[in-house]
């Protein structure tokens, strides 16, 4: 009985170790560029969007941060794809990060005015 219990504890420790490795963190830096068709409302957001954005992915969670005020938690939306919507500078922005494809991309859109900024990981 002692042997079985000890083996079970060893197996549990190994599984926790594998679980921790599966939760490794990856960080990506993006410099977004405006879409050439951006006008009006879009142009006033360029200063915020053109700053470096950092995406940190840990397991099934992702966080985007930038000096321009884009800071939010993203939710999984498929394998390696994360999404969020939040208010910034009086508009609603949709953020989609795709770290499953190569190159890795970050796209920010403001659907009402048709604004779009995108970039690839450095």
User: 3-state SS string over the chain?
Assistant: CHHHHHHHHHHHHHHHHHHHHHCCEEEEEEECEECCCCCCHHHHHHHHHCCEEEEEEECCEEEEEECCCCCEEEEECCCCEEEEEEEECCEEEEEEEECCCCCCEEEEEECCCCEEEEEEEC
Q: How large is the average pLDDT for residues 53-58?
A: 97
pLDDT per position as a tens digit, 29-54: 999 999 999 988 899 999 999 999 99
Specify the pLDDT at position 108.
95
Specify the pLDDT at position 7.
52
pLDDT per position as a tens digit, 93-119: 999 999 999 999 999 999 888 999 999
Nearest to 80 by CA among 100, 60, 65: 100
Model-wide pTM > 0.85: no
Specify the pLDDT at position 40.
84
């Amino acid at each position: 009985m002692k042997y079985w219990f000890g083996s079970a504890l060893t197996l549990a420790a190994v599984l926790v170790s594998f679980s921790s490795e599966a939760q490794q963190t990856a960080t990506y830096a993006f410099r977004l560029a405006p879409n050439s068709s951006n006008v009006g409302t879009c142009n006033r957001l360029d200063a915020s969007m053109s700053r470096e954005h950092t995406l940190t992915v840990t397991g099934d969670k992702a966080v985007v941060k930038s000096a321009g005020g884009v800071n939010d938690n993203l939710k999984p939306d498929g394998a390696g794809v994360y999404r969020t919507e939040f208010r910034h500078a009086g508009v609603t922005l949709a953020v989609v990060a795709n770290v499953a494809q190569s190159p890795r991309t970050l796209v920010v859109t403001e659907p009402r005015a048709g604004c779009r900024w995108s970039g690839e990981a450095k």
